[in-house]
């Protein structure tokens, strides 16, 4: 049986999450998970409610205590989901130098100081909105700062209600450049299961994108539920394993002290 890890977990140390590390560990044990990566938000946009909220020392202490309690049953990692905008690159670099993390997940939630939500697609057409988003994702990958790229087609969470299902076809030139760059740099691609429990109805990224990453030579995938409450911890992780195997992957990757560790699917 495959070992199931949830490597995109938000604890109460993210401003939009509510359950503490201890509760999440107990829930993980109850659900048969083998490990967690705590990827609380490191928000870089000053307009974001989470700006300045990330506390590496506090999170590290909580995880260290959890390891003493659950270490024989759970493999626990200290990470961060870093919100990328190129204008804040110096701040991100300084943060990563100061904090010895296990795992750094790079994500784009803001584009040129605009938060990606439903209102973003009231102001922009799908063509405009996705183009600007993928420009930022390509810049995030090119920075070489991240172990994995989270929810690569994130905007579809907010566009489907206004414009229908996400169609990657018009965006393939950008997506392909991003995937080729990820393969060249050894950057992992996250399978984020949150879309299955949201209106999107599919994982992030879309299956076609995952398959293309594999066709281009990508071998590193990370898997996470992007949970912000214990109720969603580990949701659809086994389903993501099946999706990954169907796309041709044989291993998932976890990052320990920023080094990749391969685990059979």
pLDDT digits (tens, 9 = 90+) for 205-261: 999 999 999 999 999 999 999 999 999 999 999 999 999 999 999 999 999 999 999
pLDDT in tens, 103-120: 999 999 999 999 999 999
More confidently predicted of 1 and 200? 200
User: Any idea how long the chain is?
Assistant: 265
CATH architecture of 5-264: Alpha-Beta Barrel (3.20)
Total Cβ atoms within 10 A of residue 132: 17
Tens-place pLDDT, residues 2-49 = 699 999 999 999 999 999 999 999 999 999 999 999 999 999 999 999
**H/E segment holding residue 9:** strand 5-9
Domain range annotation of the chain: 5-264
Least Cα distance to 79 among 223, 257, 252 occurs for 257
% the chain with pLDDT above 70: 99
Which residue from 130, 132, 194 is spatially nearest to 163, judged by alpha carbons?
130
Angle of helix 172-185 relative to helix 207-215, nearest 10 degrees? 50
Q: How far is CA 211 from the centre of its chain?
A: 18
* pLDDT for the residue numbered 71: 87
- Helix (H) and strand (E) counts in the chain: 10, 11
**What's 129's DSSP letter?**
H
Which sign does the torsion angle of CA 189, 195, 197, 202 carry?
negative
Close Cβ partners of 105 (under 8 Å, ≥ 6 residues apart): 7, 8, 39, 79, 80, 81, 82, 146, 147, 148, 149, 150, 190, 222, 224
The pair phi, psi for residue 93, each rounded to 5°, is -60, -45
Q: What are phi and psi of 106, to 5 degrees?
A: -95, 130
Computed over every residue of the chain, the mean pLDDT equals 96
Inter-CA distances, 37 with 49, 77, 128, 158, 179, Å: 23, 4, 34, 26, 24
3-state secondary structure 35-52: EEEEEEEEECCCCCCCEC
- In the predicted structure, residue 1 carries a pLDDT above the cut 70: no
Task: Give pLDDT tens digits for 152-176.
Answer: 999 999 998 888 889 999 999 999 9
């Amino acid at each position: 049986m495959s070992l199931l890890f949830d490597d995109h977990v938000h604890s109460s140390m993210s401003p939009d999450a509510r359950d503490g590390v201890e509760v999440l560990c107990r829930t993980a044990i109850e659900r048969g998970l083998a490990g967690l990566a705590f990827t609380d938000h490191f928000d870089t946009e000053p307009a974001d409610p989470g700006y300045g909220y990330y506390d590496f020392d506090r999170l590290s202490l909580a995880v260290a205590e959890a390891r003493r309690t659950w270490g024989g049953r759970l493999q626990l990692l200290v990470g961060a989901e870093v919100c990328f905008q190129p204008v804040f690159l110096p701040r991100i670099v300084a943060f990563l130098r100061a904090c010895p993390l296990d795992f750094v997940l790079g994500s784009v939630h803001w584009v040129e100081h605009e938060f990606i939500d439903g209102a973003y697609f009231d102001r922009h057409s799908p063509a405009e909105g996705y183009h600007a988003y993928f420009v930022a994702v390509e810049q995030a990958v090119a920075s070489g700062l991240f172990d994995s790229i989270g929810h690569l087609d994130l905007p579809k969470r907010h566009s489907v209600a206004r414009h229908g299902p996400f169609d990657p076809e018009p965006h393939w030139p950008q997506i392909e450049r991003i995937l080729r760059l990820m393969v060249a740099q050894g950057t992992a691609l996250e399978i984020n299961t949150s879309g299955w429990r949201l209106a999107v109805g599919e994982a992030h990224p879309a299956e076609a994108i995952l398959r293309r990453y594999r066709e281009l030579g990508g071998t590193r995938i990370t898997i996470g539920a992007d949970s912000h409450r214990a109720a969603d911890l580990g949701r659809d992780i086994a389903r993501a394993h099946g999706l990954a195997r169907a796309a041709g992957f044989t291993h998932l990757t976890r990052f320990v002290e920023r080094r990749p560790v391969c685990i059979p699917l």
